Chains A and B, each alone.
Chain A
Amino acid sequence: VDKDNRAMTRRKFLKTAAAGMALGLAGSPSFSFAKEEYDLAVISGEPAAATRKAIEALGGISQFVKKGQRVVLKPNMSFARTPDFSATTHPLVVATVAQACMEAGAQQVLVLDHTLQRAELCLERTGIREACKNIPGVHVLALQERKFFGETKIPQGKVLERVEVVKDILDGHVLINIPVAKSHSATGVSLGMKGLMGLIWDRESFHSQYNINQAIADLGTVIRPQLTILDATRALVSGGPGGPGEVKKPNLIIAGMDPVAVDSYGVSIVPWYGQNFKGRQVEHLLVAHQKGLGKIDIDQLKIFKEKV
């Protein structure tokens, strides 16, 4: 566990956020990667800079967000924990993506999650609200009321026929998933696919009623983020999903349009619970792959790697 990082305060975050943002804005001229299309961008570096680079490597945010569109960002801010616990997405990653979306001309950006713990505290402790506070057009919301969820059918569902999801993603919003890399005591890991459970109302039934791994894959057929940006700047490799647990620092941002591929790569970067795994060994990823939601073998992926 990184001792220094534990002492990270919100104020520090803000400062770093500002610095990171400035770097991102001033830095690297926009290379066009459009000619060569990558499945994944894996960028090593500080949260804000690496996030910018990763988006750029996939062809820039304008590939995903068009002028006037409304965007939903789904970070993990489910727990009232500070970022050093690695149970929630790094606020700088969220702020950087939100900023990029607004720069691309988005009408508005909603940063939202159905938090597990009290909404107010989650927004406060994770630092995400603070980090996005000064970006005009960006709204950070934690939804804990059923009235903000609407039912949708799952035609391809095997165990799940219908599900109540956050209304805002039902009406043509662009969805960008920004999970954090962490272990999970029921599903092994909780990355992008598992993180989508933060957009539904009734999560309990996934644990009590259905096979959770199948249910996650079913959910993946109706909630399809255009882009997944996995925050692996830190990884909670045990004690997940809520922590506390062992936090490693892979310093990576992994981005891609294929949600299974991003997760599968994410599985491979660190040992989980002290043991190395492949994406194929994570049941919910395997089921999702078999359902045709994405590629699971990372040696078949075209990956752009860089250090910033």
Chain B
Amino acid sequence: MRTLIQALSLLLFSTFFIFATYKLPNWLPADIYLRLDPLLGINAVFAAREIIGRALWGIVTIGATLFFGRFFCAYVCPMGASIDFLDLLFFRKKKRQNLKTDSSFRKAKYFLLVLFITAALTGLSLAFLMDPMSLLTRFYTFFIYPLAITLINLILDLLRPLFQALGWVTLSHLYYFQSVYYMTAITLLIFGGIVALNRLVPRFWCRYLCPLGAFLSLISPLGLFKRQVNNDCNECLKCQKACPMGAIAEDPRGTRLPECIQCRTCAKVCPQHAITFPASLSIGGEYSKVDFSRRGFLYSLAGGLGVGFLAMQTPFALKQSKHPLIRPPGAIPETEFLRTCIRCGECMKSCLTNTLQPCLWESGFSGLWTPKMDPRLAPCDQNCNVCGKVCPTQAIRSLPMEEKTHAKVGTAVLRKEMCLVWAENKLCLICDEICPYNAIVFRPVEGYRRPVVIPSKCNGCGFCEQRCPVKGDSAIVVVPNGEIRLKEGSYIKEAKKLQLEFKPDAGDDKFILEESGFKIEEKKKRGKNIPPEEITQPKKPKGFL
């Protein structure tokens, strides 16, 4: 029963994950699992020092835990489910003994919880490192999703000859866009490590490390349903061995309530049927104290402050106002953005073009895994606004299309010394051709028509940078200069104030003909092919003789 619910929850999590694409309907909260995570919510609210609407969903989980105890870990948590299923796969037959240092290990998760919350209070968003929801979404984004696409495409490729022979046209041309990410390997290593720890004890992660588990276990003794053992107990200790959380004390009648996740495995294995889970208002017994030393508390507090200091007092922090990164459209101002973003990777999963990529050290420790645009890899599509829609903390604001169009992420800068037209007089026009906003126009300069960026029309989408045929670095690059980052209010209004215009208009080509002194040098070269009366016609657009 529990396994079924767990599997369903994992399936639901995966389904929401799959739905996070540019076609996501507005009513569907693809990020719901992340919203329901109270630790991520607390982390973001504390770090940003602001109430975040979507983070309030965490109250639902807190409320449910106050009622049912720490059921979340056993039934809902997709990370717990993944760990359980992978445990079955890898370690089912391995003999595992409870760790001798069990009780001191248990404290670790509380220390981590205190550390993360303290760090959040200093303005450093750090919980993402070990929060299960963020961790798993990240793992899905950077590993499971690309892997799934690869496998599907592989199967399609293998079957393609068959499809062709059968004349199944659509299938024989079918393929899926392969998303790729910079930090896949690191993400896999971390997740792999977590699963490998299960070799030591079942649910090692949940018992000893998970800070969300720690948070829930603090309030779970208040829950209504509690394990109770009646006098039929013959102290066979089967329940103690079977408990995946090690929540059953030396005396099998006792329960460590903070650790109990209501999975009821003990009741199932008890040969005497002595274990029940009735409603009870008592708050714990001798085993239900959270074993958390004052010293440990102080250490983790200091740890949190220390990490906060390390992350904040760096040149990276001082340079935040001049940061070199192109952030997704709708990303709130950089400092607030770093504080609010929980690095779940959902924006990068949903990104239509794959331009959103995780940062490694580009903006220091406080910027790990935050999304940046990589315009050389892919542009930001003008028809898509999904990254904001799926952001569980609204570090990227969910914007209607029109607003998103005005959320300028940067400005394209043309590097004349590399541009094929400027430097080599070649007939290239790709940046102009692809620009969705008509922000690149050709103007006559020294006898040639050359591309010029109109900064007030450029919203930094990066199509030009991606398509530029120059090898290596693009001859036209998007820089963050001119980006609009608003915590609240309308981007359209702000753009108007700045006299920006992202509605492309047709009038720019007038430069092609009207500018005086416009000549096409090549005309002279090919002059002999042209009837004389046509040679005298001045000022022709490119491509015409």
Seen from chain A, the residues whose Cβ lies within 8 Å of a Cβ on chain B are: 1, 80, 107-108, 110, 116-118, 121, 125, 139, 141, 143-145, 147-148, 183-189, 204-205, 207-208, 211-213, 238-239, 241-246, 272-275, 277-278, 280-284, 286
CB contact under 8 A between A275 and B432, given known A187-B543, A281-B544, A281-B545:
no
Q: Which of A1, A189, A241 contacts B506 (CB 8 A)?
A: A1
Q: Which residues, 424 to 444 on B, are CB-close (under 8 Å) to A?
A: 426-430, 432-436, 438, 442
By beta carbon, the residue of chain A nearest B539 is A275
**Contact in complex: B506, A242 (CB < 8 Å):** no
Q: Are B506 and A188 in contact (CB under 8 A)?
A: no
Q: Could you list which residues of chain B lie within 8 angstroms of chain A, going by C-beta atoms? A: 157, 167, 169-170, 173, 175, 177, 352-353, 381, 383, 420, 426-430, 432-436, 438, 442, 467, 469-470, 504-506, 508-510, 512-513, 526, 529-531, 534, 540-545
Q: Is the CB of B383 within 8 A of A184?
A: no
Assess the B438–A239 pair: CB atoms within 8 A: yes
Q: Are A186 and B167 in contact (CB under 8 A)?
A: no
Given contacts A125-B383, A208-B469, contact A118 B352 (CB under 8 A): yes
9 closest Cβ contacts across the A-B interface?
Answer: A188-B543, A208-B469, A186-B429, A204-B469, A238-B509, A187-B543, A207-B428, A139-B169, A188-B544
B430 touches A121 (CB 8 A): no
Which residues of B lie under 8 Å from residue A246 when comparing CB positions? 506
Please name 6 pairs of A and B residues whose Cβ atoms are closer than 8 Å in the assembled complex, sorted by A: A117-B434, A185-B509, A207-B429, A242-B436, A273-B541, A282-B545
Q: With A207-B430, A211-B427, A273-B513 given, is the CB distance from A186 to B469 under 8 Å?
A: no
Q: A188-B542, A208-B470 are in contact. Are A141 and B509 (CB under 8 A)?
A: no
Query: Which of A211, A272, A284 lies in contact with B541, CB distance below 8 A?
Result: A272
Q: A144 to B544, alpha carbons, bound, how many Å?
A: 30
CB pair A213 B543 closer than 8 Å: yes
A283 to B513, Cβ gap below 8 A? Answer: no
CA distance A116 to B463 in the complex (A): 11
B254 to chain A, nearest CB (A): 59
Instruction: A280 to B541: give the CA distance in the assembly, Å.
Output: 14
Q: Which residue of B lies closest to A290 (CB)?
A: B529
* A108-B167, A186-B543, A204-B430 known; A239-B512 Cβ under 8 A: no
Distance in Å: Cβ of A35 to nearest Cβ of chain B: 36
15 more CB-based (< 8 A) A-B contacts, given A118-B352, A185-B433, A280-B531? A1-B506, A80-B383, A116-B434, A145-B175, A148-B173, A184-B543, A187-B543, A204-B430, A207-B469, A213-B427, A241-B433, A273-B512, A280-B545, A281-B540, A283-B545
Docked pose: A144 CA to B434 CA in angstroms: 16
Known interface pairs A207-B430, A283-B544. Does A245 touch B352 (Cβ–Cβ under 8 Å)? no
A124 to chain B, nearest CB (A): 9
With a cutoff of 8 Å between Cβ atoms, the chain B residues found around residue A274 in the complex are: 510, 513
For residue A187, which residue of chain B has the nearest CB? Answer: B543
* Option from B177, B426, B506 in Cβ contact (under 8 Å) with A208: B426
Q: How far is the CA of A189 from the CA of B541 in the complex (A)?
A: 10
By the criterion CB–CB under 8 Å, are A286 and B157 in contact?
no
Chain A neighbourhood of B432, CB < 8 A: 185
Question: In the complex, what distance in Å separates the CA atom of A204 from the CA atom of B474?
Answer: 13
SS of B interface (majority): loop
Kindly list chain B residues whose C-beta atoms are within 8 Å of the C-beta of A278. Answer: 534
Contacting pair B509 A281 (CB below 8 A): no
Given the known inter-chain contacts A244-B506, A274-B513, A277-B544, please indicate yes or no for A205 contacting B469, CB distance below 8 A. yes
Residues of A within 8 A of B529 (CB): 286
> Least Cβ distance of A210 to chain B in Å?
9
Instruction: List A contacts of B175 (CB < 8 A).
Output: 145, 147
Contact B541 A239 (CB under 8 A): no
Closest residue of chain B to A189, judged by CB? B543
Q: How far is the CB of B526 from chain A (nearest CB, A)?
A: 7
Q: Which one of B170, B177, B434 lies within 8 Å of A242 (CB-CB)?
A: B434
- Report the minimal beta-carbon distance from B379 to chain A, rounded to whole angstroms: 9
Interface centre among B427, B505, B526, B531 (most CB of A within 10 A): B427
Give the CA-CA distance A245 to B504 in the complex, in Å.
8
A246 to B177 alpha-carbon distance, docked (Å): 34
Q: Which residues of B contact A212 (CB under 8 A)?
A: 427
Q: Which residues of the partner chain A approach B543 to less than 8 Å between Cβ atoms?
A: 184-189, 213, 282-284
A242-B435 CB under 8 A given contacts A141-B173, A188-B541, A208-B469: yes
CA distance in complex: A182, B437 (Å) = 17
Residue in A183, A239, A245, A275 whose CB lies within 8 Å of B540? A275
Contacts of A118 in B (CB 8 A): 177, 352-353, 381
Does A108 lie within 8 Å of B435, measured CB to CB? no
Taken together as a complex, chains A and B put the C-alpha atoms of A45 and B531 apart, in Å, by 34
Residues of B within 8 A of A275 (CB): 513, 540-541
CA distance A178 to B467 in the complex (A): 25
- CB contacts (< 8 Å) of A80 on chain B: these are 381, 383
Measured between alpha carbons, how far is A117 from B381 in the docked complex, in Å? 9
Inside 8 A of B544's CB, which chain A residues have their CB? 188, 272, 277, 281-283
List chain A residues, Cβ under 8 A from B167.
107-108
> Is the CB–CB distance between A239 and B509 below 8 Å?
yes
Inside 8 A of A110's CB, which chain B residues have their CB? 169
Bound complex: CA A184 to CA B529 (Å): 22
Q: Chain B residues with Cβ under 8 A from A1's Cβ?
A: 506
Q: In the bound complex, what is the Cα–Cα distance between A108 and B170 (angstroms)? A: 11
Complex Cα–Cα for A187 and B429 (A): 9
- A115 to B540 alpha-carbon distance, docked (Å): 29
Q: Kindly state the separation between the CA atoms of A141 and B171 in the bound complex, as whole angstroms.
A: 11
Taking a contact as CB atoms under 8 Å apart, the answer to whether A242 and B505 are in contact is: no
Cβ–Cβ < 8 Å partners of B541 in chain A: 183, 185, 188, 272-273, 275
CB of A242 to closest CB in B, whole Å = 5
Cα distance, A278 to B545, chains bound together (Å): 10
In the bound assembly, the distance between CA atoms of A85 and B505 in angstroms comes to: 11
- Give every chain B residue within 8 A of A183 (Cβ-Cβ): 509, 541
What B residues does A239 contact at CB under 8 A?
438, 504, 506, 508-509
Most chain B CB within 10 A, of A208, A213, A284, is at A208
Q: Which A residue sits closest to B169, measured CB to CB? A: A139
A82 to chain B, nearest CB (A): 11
Determine the chain B residues whose CB is within 8 A of the CB of A116 once the complex forms.
433-434
Q: Is the CB of B526 within 8 A of A283?
A: yes
Residues in A with CB closer than 8 Å to B430 are 204, 207
Cβ of B439 to closest chain A Cβ, rounded Å: 12
User: Chain A residues near B428 (CB, 8 Å)?
Assistant: 186, 207-208
- Interchain CA distance A1-B504 in the complex, whole Å: 14
Closest chain B residue, CB of each to CB of A81 = B436
Most central of A186, A189, A246, A281 by chain B CB within 10 Å:
A186
Q: Whose C-beta in chain A lies nearest to the C-beta of B174? A: A141
Given the complex, which residues of B lie within 8 Å of A213, measured CB to CB?
Answer: 427, 543
User: Chain B: which residue is nearest A245 at the CB level?
Assistant: B506
**CA of A280 to CA of B534, assembled, Å:** 10
Measured CA separation A242–B432 after assembly (Å)? 8
B383 and A121 contact, CB distance less than 8 A: yes
Q: How far is the CA of A185 from the CA of B430 in the complex (A)?
A: 9
Q: How far is A244 from B503 in the complex, measured between Cα atoms in Å?
A: 9
B170→A139 contact, CB < 8 A = yes
Cα–Cα, bound, A139→B172 (Å): 11
